[in-house]
Amino acid sequence: RQTKKINQLINQQGQICYGNKEKKKIVQEYYQSLYYQEKVQEEDIKQYLQEANLPQIPKDVEAMLEANITMMELTEALKRQNTGKQYYLKIPTWVSTIEAFSYPMI
């Protein structure tokens, strides 16, 4: 079996590099610059969103989206999964004790 190896890389100055340490540094710098994000001010974000004229969610829909998941909704979702299993016919008692369905919106 033949292994694949990168023999050379070109750094930001246009020089060809052959050494493992040099190639590692080139790769690290590349990914650091690729995933670098500037800190954006919250005011800039708010201004952008106002200028974008995005549609607003009606208050009643917003309230519905932020409400806790009910047992009826959970049961219906399990029934619609169509997995061929009959486990949804009787919801176990531990499901009704789960408080994890009330995560606040962040």
Whole-prediction pTM value?
0.38
The more confidently predicted of residues 12 and 105 is 12
Query: At residue 60, does pLDDT exceed 70?
Result: yes
Give strand ranges (E) for the chain.
9-10, 16-17
In SS3 terms, 35-51 reads as CCCCCCCHHHHHHHHHH
Band of pLDDT at residue 87, cut at 50, 70 and 90: low
Query: At residue 101, does pLDDT exceed 60?
Result: no
pLDDT of residue 85: 63
In angstroms, the CA 17 to CA 8 distance is 5
Query: At residue 105, does pLDDT exceed 90?
Result: no
In angstroms, the CA 51 to CA 48 distance is 5
